[in-house]
Amino acid sequence: MPYISDTGAHIPESCIFSQLLNFASFLIAITIAVRYKQVEQQCRDNMMPCANKVFALNRWSFLFGLLSAAGVSIVANFQELQLFTVHMIGASVAFGFGLVYCAIQTHLSYYMYPIVQSGLTLARCRLFLTIVLAVSYVTSSVFGPMAYANFKGSDQTKWKPSDGGYLYHVISSVCEWISALSIDFFILSFAHEFKFMSISSPKFYMISTVAVRPLEESASEDSAYGVINVVNSDSFASPSRASGDPQETPDERSKG
């Protein structure tokens, strides 16, 4: 029974593994952001008496959720065989902060009943998934180091019973898969509530600064600032006509 990272430890599987996990991390972050805005807006619309507590818990869950998504990205980019320590730190961040996120969201599901969801069934399912995640994560964190401490083989991605620590390895790897599936199903539980909301595309406003400059300033300065002055057509007339002087033009004098 391989660990999750063992399935993407060698080329070309490692490339596909990294690409898909990075994409999954991006989707998880978007889902967490949408859930954050949903809880916040539901709380505002229904004017809950303890709205400040809900807002605080919602902000904390948003923070831990984004950290968990970042941990998934670390797992994707720092692979097991190349940078094992950084890879394990990313896995701990992904599962550890993911557990905290699920716990806070479960608490919010009970606290906001029946505003966000129609019944307690969904909240109880989230509580069950959170408990399964907590037990499997702790079990995997305990038996995983014990398995590596007793390993005496040459390839950790193909763990054999003769390599030592095999039972610990099987227990920790099975629990790791259960932890990942628990988080996946927990996030999937948001789909029911997302049916009752819609998101409009953001609006963009173009901000332009128009420089208004006097007409008497030099054209060189205007060109430096990129300002085009529109001059009245009367200014191209003769000085006498522009000033209102009835002086005749040469053509008019010849006609006279």
Q: What is the pLDDT along the chain (256 residues), one digit of tens a residue?
A: 888 887 777 788 888 888 899 999 999 999 999 999 888 888 777 766 667 888 888 999 999 999 999 999 998 888 777 787 888 898 899 999 999 999 999 988 887 777 665 578 888 899 999 999 999 999 998 988 888 888 787 777 777 777 777 888 889 989 999 999 999 999 998 888 888 788 787 788 888 776 555 555 555 554 444 444 444 444 444 444 444 455 555 555 555 5
Q: Is the peptide bond before 161 cis (omega within 30 degrees of 0)?
A: no
pTM of the model: 0.73
- 149 lies in some domain: yes
- 203 lies in some domain: no
- 204 lies in some domain: no
- 240 lies in some domain: no
The total domain count for the chain is 1
- 20 lies in some domain: yes
The answer to whether 28 touches 68, Cβ cutoff 8 Å, is: yes
- 229 lies in some domain: no
- 30 lies in some domain: yes
Q: Which domain holds residue 168?
A: 5-194
CA dihedral angle for residue 107, residue 110, residue 113, residue 116, rounded to 10 degrees: 40
Q: In degrees rounded to 5, what are phi and psi of residue 207?
A: -105, 115
- 219 lies in some domain: no
Structure-token pair, residue 82:
């190349």
